[in-house]
Chains A and B, each alone.
Chain A
Amino acid sequence: MNERTLADVIEVPQFVRALRRGIEAFTRYRAFMPLAPRAYTRTLLEKTDEYEVIAMLWAPGSVSPIHDHGDSRCWVIVLEGSLDVENYDRLDEREPLARLRHSGTAHFEAGALDHRLTARELHRVRNLGEIGTYSLQLYAKPLGTFTIVDDLTGLCRAMQPHYDAVVDL
């Protein structure tokens, strides 16, 4: 899959509209988002056939598994707090065991946008700050089956996304 432009998966004006609705919904539901100690929660704000918008609350110390986004493109905007994203290169393509190399870490403060050129890039997200981090993720198409990789064994597993809460817009 070579989705290199946003326009291939979602029209830009639609992206901007989704973002606007996402930020409005976040403002309204911020206080009601589930909080799990040392973990992150995902609240679905909007879902169409083309995209879904999710608000995430990352408790201090929370960390995601090393994962990709399956066949979806993901755009992350940090709304409050900060996130550190560790990037990984795959050194081979032989599933179910992946050889990984940690290529570096990017730090994102509030207002920052993280985006990837392709859907299959492996990464892990952490909140290393002392306060909770709120972020808005826009997936286009909505996130389907994706891969997580165990950082010790390199074992790949197919996963289905879950929601901790769904906001009825």
Chain B
Amino acid sequence: MDPRGQLDVAVIGGGVSGTALAIALAASAPPDFTACVFDPSGLGPGTAYAPQSASLLLNGPVRAMSAVPGDPSHLKRYLVDEPDDALICRARYGAYMRATAAGALAAHRGIRHAPVEIAEIARERDGFVLVDAEARVHRTRRVVFAMGNFAPDASFLPESIRASADFANDPWRADVGRFRSGDIALIGSRLTAMDVIALLDEHAASGRIHLISRHGRVPFVEDPRARGDATVLARLDTSTPYTLLRSLRRTIDDYPGDWRAVVEALRPVTPHIWAAWNPRERRRFLRHCESLWAIHRYRVPPATYAVYARLRAAGRIVVHRARIVGATAATRGFALELDERGARGILRVAGAVNCTGPNADLTRVASPLVRSALAGGIITADPLRLGIAISETFNTLDANGRPDARAFAMGPLVRGRWYETTAIPEITRHAAAIARDILREHRAALTVEAS
């Protein structure tokens, strides 16, 4: 650290994104390099891998989930006894992230973790000033925003639901077990809803589970053996979302093997296809194709899907392709007014859980840090409301679109730039790229000072 106590880099967020970056930095940083990861809830699992439930599984296999960039078998060696294609428990993965982070910090004494929340950020001449929730000041030359996922947005729901004690807006911070008696509404029908169903079943819930979503689509089941077949890429027409979807459908129809091989093949090129589309095409994709793409791309672990299939077959799960247009609070729960493709109906439930997934619209996020970073022009919101706008080198952009060479963002919050940024293989890859750029600049600065 330099004499004024300025860090070389401050990483905000110690979930998987911030941890992956700390691991990448610790692997190659020179001994004089200093970094601090700020996160009040520890370093490693973040929100995604913290829940301690045996029902919550990874939806990516062991072979694809290493936290160490360039070393894909790292997780397999840590687990010792799990095969390549196993989908392990998320809590166990959280423990792996924690252990790997601890190892990285032990290996480099300049890199540490501070269990505090950063509440404010401002620019100064040669870096940034951070103020934590206890009003302590930290100075840093560079900053990396790695905050991960924010709680879901509930602004589209009637006030009578949002204000009720029978509504849980953040399934990862709520006790889902309290909804085990009576019928319950899950708003959203994708992976989060599938996880909540598994949790409810673990708590021996007895009521009906109503899934309410605009398209009424439920994700497909994962086959952990699925591997991408890149040769199918030659058959795709990627020019617009529609041509892509059409050619994808044709390719899947003609493909002799499992369709997942085609979807998986697209994954490494998705960022490039997304980046090549103009904003109008991206918007079209989000409006018309995203839901269909998501249920094929983000698949449910077989064990979780089995719970869903069993309850659905028993009539305990009802899928509504509907919008919630009104709600009245009752003594317990609500009467939801649904618009199911034009037909209005009333659905009475004892509780509701928001399963629409993380909120990436920064203008609607209740975080003092985000507010202060937006106000100071250190970050800007992605125009499609998919998190933080960044350059191709992960630098945040100011209001005029100019990249800030000292501020970076990564993880789920940079989806607007690459689209595929939320899963482990992409996160570790991005962490490695950011670490490389930071360390290159750090070494170059040292050379200048020495001469």
Residues of chain A contacted by B81 (CB below 8 angstroms): none
Query: Are A19 and B234 in contact, CB atoms less than 8 angstroms apart?
Result: yes
Query: Are A7 and B272 in contact, CB atoms less than 8 angstroms apart?
Result: yes
Query: Are A111 and B228 in contact, CB atoms less than 8 angstroms apart?
Result: yes
Query: Are A113 and B230 in contact, CB atoms less than 8 angstroms apart?
Result: yes
Query: Are B269 and A12 in contact, CB atoms less than 8 angstroms apart?
Result: yes
Q: Tell me if A63 counts as interface (CB < 8 A to partner B).
A: no
Residue-wise, chain B 198-242 has the 8 Å CB interface mask toward A (1 for contact) of: 000000000000000000000000000001111101111111000
Query: Are A5 and B28 in contact, CB atoms less than 8 angstroms apart?
Result: no
* Chain A contact residues: helix, strand, loop or mixed: mixed
Q: Tell me if B73 counts as interface (CB < 8 A to partner A).
A: yes
Partner-contacting stretch, out of B53-61, B64-72, B128-136, B317-325? B64-72
Pick the contact of A12 from B231, B273, B437 — CB < 8 Å?
Answer: B273
Give, as a whole number of angstroms, the nearest-CB distance from B141 to chain A.
Answer: 19
Residue-wise, chain A 100-117 has the 8 Å CB interface mask toward B (1 for contact) of: 010111110101110101
How many residues of chain A are within 8 Å of chain B by beta carbon? 37
Give, as a whole number of angstroms, the nearest-CB distance from A142 to chain B.
Answer: 19
Query: Are B228 and A112 in contact, CB atoms less than 8 angstroms apart?
Result: yes
Query: Are A111 and B227 in contact, CB atoms less than 8 angstroms apart?
Result: yes
A79→B232 CA distance, assembly (Å): 11
Chain B residues numbered 70-86 whose CB sits less than 8 Å from any CB in chain A: 70-74
Query: Are A2 and B71 in contact, CB atoms less than 8 angstroms apart?
Result: no
Q: Tell me if B433 counts as interface (CB < 8 A to partner A).
A: yes
Q: Tell me if B294 counts as interface (CB < 8 A to partner A).
A: no
Residues of chain A contacted by B228 (CB below 8 angstroms): 111-113
Chain A residues numbered 10-26 whose CB sits less than 8 Å from any CB in chain B: 11-13, 15-16, 19-20, 22-23
Query: Are A12 and B68 in contact, CB atoms less than 8 angstroms apart?
Result: no
A117→B417 CA distance, assembly (Å): 14
Q: Tell me if A157 counts as interface (CB < 8 A to partner B).
A: no
Query: Are A20 and B235 in contact, CB atoms less than 8 angstroms apart?
Result: yes
Q: Tell me if B392 counts as interface (CB < 8 A to partner A).
A: yes
Query: Are A118 and B70 in contact, CB atoms less than 8 angstroms apart?
Result: no
Pick the contact of A105 from B71, B238, B393 — CB < 8 Å?
Answer: B71
Residues of chain A contacted by B437 (CB below 8 angstroms): 2
* Chain B contact residues: helix, strand, loop or mixed: helix
Residues of chain A contacted by B268 (CB below 8 angstroms): 113, 115
Residues of chain B contacted by A23 (CB below 8 angstroms): 231, 234
Give, as a whole number of angstroms, the nearest-CB distance from B66 to chain A.
Answer: 8
Pick the contact of B237 from A13, A92, A103 — CB < 8 Å?
Answer: A13
Residues of chain A contacted by B250 (CB below 8 angstroms): none
How many residues of chain B are within 8 Å of chain A by beta carbon? 43
A37→B236 CA distance, assembly (Å): 36
Give, as a whole number of angstroms, the nearest-CB distance from A139 to chain B.
Answer: 15
Q: Tell me if B261 counts as interface (CB < 8 A to partner A).
A: yes
Residues of chain A contacted by B69 (CB below 8 angstroms): 87, 103-104
Given contacts A77-B230, A113-B265, contact A104 B74 (CB under 8 A): yes
Q: Tell me if A6 counts as interface (CB < 8 A to partner B).
A: yes
Pick the contact of A118 from B74, B238, B436, B444 — CB < 8 Å?
Answer: B436
Query: Are A112 and B230 in contact, CB atoms less than 8 angstroms apart?
Result: yes
A sample of 28 inter-chain contacts (CB < 8 A) reads A2-B392, A2-B393, A5-B275, A5-B276, A6-B275, A6-B276, A7-B272, A12-B269, A12-B273, A12-B276, A15-B272, A16-B237, A19-B234, A87-B70, A87-B71, A91-B28, A93-B443, A104-B68, A104-B71, A104-B73, A106-B70, A106-B72, A111-B261, A111-B265, A112-B230, A113-B265, A115-B268, A117-B433
Q: Given known contacts A7-B276, A19-B233, A79-B231, what 7 new A-B pairs fall within 8 Å (CB)?
A: A23-B234, A87-B70, A104-B74, A105-B73, A111-B261, A112-B228, A113-B233
Closest 10 CB pairs of A and B: A104-B71, A87-B70, A103-B70, A111-B229, A6-B272, A113-B230, A20-B234, A4-B392, A19-B234, A7-B276
